Amino acid sequence: MYLATMSNVENPTEKTLAELGVHTPEEVTTLFVELREKANKEQRWIDKPDKFEQFRVKWIGRKSGILAQVTENWLKPADVDLKRIVGQVLNEFRSHLQRLVDQAQQGLDVRAGQAADVRERVDLSLPGVIRPIGSHHLIRQVFQQIEDIFVSIGFSVVEGPEIETPYYNFEALNIPEFHPVRDDMDTFYLELPKGAAVPLLLRTHTSPMQIRTMEKQKPPVRVIVPGKVYRRDNPDATHSFVFHQVEGLAVDTDITFCDFTGTIDYFVKQFFGPSVKTRFRPSYFPFTEPSVEFDVSCPFCGGSGTAAGGGTCSKCKGAAWIELFGAGMVDPAVYGFVNYDAKKVSGFAFGIGIDRLAMLKYGIDDIQVFFQNDVRFLRQFP
Ligand code: FA5
């Protein structure tokens, strides 16, 4: 007996056509029409991804979806004379279900897009968001102060590579291989492919730019070179393996030691204030002759060596002076590397350690804070 409708049969797709009493092509078509309407109705209720997934699994799920059941229970065991029509209608039904799934997916995509539009809509009537403005790192600020001072007396600012060849970092600065001064500047060499023409290293000072600058231009030269330098120094309160220097170089036909001391004195007084005193001590650098170390009177104890509350000043350790940087008159040997005539030109050079300079000026007792990027420290120097 044919059951005119599926509504009075529980799970009709789990039964065979014979069990459902379906024997004619018309009855087969009717069965599929009812199934199709059921699917249409359920698809209209899909409004969320989880409902979509339930629908998809229920209807076209590979293992136990209704489509799989229809194939298994209606098509496979169908009588020979019904098989062709069942197969044909089943194919149409399969395409129809796929269309329903695709449409539902598109519907969900559109809904998601609309929701995102609403979320992202810009309401121009709302007050603006005020973002906190950052500031330059203290080291950059100090670079700027130094640049301003030297530019005001006719120097220009140039920059150079942090990766150098031994020639520029050492040899052309009159530091041949095996010179003991290289021990003080042990550094990081780059791992290069086998057969590389020259070794490369992270520059240990900004002095290579003396050579690069003089190679490029004839006297008069007046430059400063701010930048990062690297050494294999163990970190402590005054040492870091990366730190900052400003190199200075002035070369002309008539530069004297007086020009040199006057320039340095002017810079220090501009930077620390007029009350600091300065002094030179003899020193040694292979690329300057004579060479000096340059000290300032301790800005913390006013050059007395005694702390404000009595006792020894902890910053200068009672010495009343603090070493600032190395400098000197350019060694004539260096001119030989850049084709300057040592008989006609003279000049001076200096290399200031910026981190220690900043520590002195701003009363910072540990160089490491410059590299930790702790905003509590950075915010103190807006
Ligand atoms: C030089 O680097 C020379 N190139 C300076 C120079 C230039 C001399 C031109 C003459 C003519 P020195 O090794 O002393 O010199 O370093 C200069 C400054 O760098 C020091 O005074 C110190 O302030 C700073 N410095 C050196 N090593 C470190 C370190 N590991 N961490 C932080 N600052 C350092």
| Sequence-distant (≥ 6) Cβ neighbours of residue 287 within 8 angstroms | 173, 174, 175, 207, 210, 328, 330, 331, 333, 334, 349
CA-closest residue to ligand 1 atom 18: 353
**What's the pLDDT at 1?**
46
Task: Return the structure tokens found at 330.
Answer: 């350019």
CA of 80 to the centre of ligand 1 (A): 98
- Give the residue carrying structure tokens 């000290």: 295
Task: Return the structure tokens found at 220.
Answer: 């008069």
CA of 30 to the centre of ligand 1 (A): 95
CA of 326 to the centre of ligand 1 (A): 7
| Domains of the chain in sequence order | 12-120 (no CATH), 138-378 (3.30.930.10)
**Nearest-angstrom CA–CA distance, 33 and 221:** 94
**What's the pLDDT at 248?**
97
Atom of ligand 1 minimally distant from the CA of 248? 9
Q: Rg of the chain's alpha carbons, rounded to an integer?
A: 42
SS3 48: coil
Residues 268, 358: contact at Cβ < 8 Å?
A: no
In the chain, the N- to C-terminal Cα span, in Å, equals: 92
Bridge partner list, 251: 221, 347
**Nearest-angstrom CA–CA distance, 124 and 187:** 56
> Which of 183, 243, 324 should be mutated for ligand 1, with most atoms under 8 A from CB?
243
**Nearest-angstrom CA–CA distance, 367 and 369:** 6
pLDDT mean values, one per 10 residues, the chain (382 residues): 59 90 92 94 93 95 92 92 93 95 94 86 83 89 97 96 96 88 83 88 96 95 97 85 96 94 91 86 92 85 84 83 89 94 95 91 88 90 88
CA-closest residue to ligand 1 atom 10: 327
CA distances from 213 to 149, 233, 337 (A): 20, 28, 12
* Pocket residues: Cβ below 6 A from ligand 1: 205, 207, 231, 233, 239-240, 243, 245, 247, 285, 288, 325-328, 349-351, 353, 355-356, 367
Residues 298, 320: contact at Cβ < 8 Å?
A: yes
Bridge partner list, 352: 246, 325
CA of 366 to the centre of ligand 1 (A): 17
What residue spans of the chain are helical by DSSP H? 17-20, 25-44, 49-60, 66-69, 80-120, 138-152, 166-169, 181-184, 208-216, 257-272, 332-337, 354-362, 369-372, 375-378
- Give the residue carrying structure tokens 């059941």: 69
Predicted TM-score (pTM) above 0.85? no
Nearest to 212 by CA among 253, 245, 163: 163
CA of 192 to the centre of ligand 1 (A): 27
